[in-house]
Structure 1
């Protein structure tokens, strides 16, 4: 049984949705009470997700210079950063919960993504 059911195409949809969420949701939640870094780390990460996604070789990539496996490695680094940030940067309350939740979600998306190199439909 293959548990990797998130195709590169669906992963692309998740990426762009997550990028918008990482940019908008921190303002909606009022992040930054324990540290202003809690707000800006998310916004910066959202912008980086857009940059990585537009450069990934998958259906929704524009420049297609980055392999999907490299993309997944970057996602894994982001999840690890999200997991460590609350403790390393002293986030508390909603700031901490936001990053722990994001870390769990990104780890799951990476774990469930099919890392076969996609064939691009031109």
Structure 2
């Protein structure tokens, strides 16, 4: 199982990775293949800053809500190459990170480890 503290570390790392991925992997072309991970990455960071767990600055969002949003975000990211018709250009980072995000949600403890 993944602790809520480790989940927080992963959230910030994945958020930064999603924002940087289009530039790192050469698909920063202004299209949906760039904007989907960029928006989801920024959303992940903002949501992490306000989730009720160890690494946030404002403990507003309950952890179960955060995990549900992470699950939906991972599914959207994994499906985005086909939903937004760019699978012929690039798909593997979106699918890979999307499935990893879903896996992390499934392995994360469902409680906030005593954070109030």
Regarding TM over 0.5, the answer is yes
Cα deviation for residue 32 of structure 1 reads 4.9
Equivalent residue in structure 2 for 1:46, among 38, 41, 45: 41
- Work out which of the residue numbers 86, 93, 98 in structure 2 matches 1:98: 93
TM-score for the superposition, normalised by structure 1 = 0.87
State the match for 2:18 in structure 1: 22
1:77 and 2:72 equivalent?
Answer: yes
* Ranges in structure 1 where 5+ consecutive residues have no aligned partner: none
Structure 1 stretches of 4+ with a deviation exceeding 4 A read none
- C-alpha distance 84-57 of structure 1, shift in aligned 2 (>3 A): same
What's the RMSD between the two structures over aligned residues? 1.7
In the other structure, the counterpart of 1:118 is 113
**CA shift at 1:47, angstroms?**
0.8
Equivalent pairs, count:
116
| 2:2 alignment partner, SS class | coil
> Does structure 1 retain, via aligned residues, the 8 Å contact 2:75–2:99?
no
Bigger CA radius of gyration: 1
Measured in 1, the distance between the counterparts of 2:51 and 2:61 equals 4
Partner secondary structure for residue 66 of structure 1: coil
Gaps of 5+ in 2: none
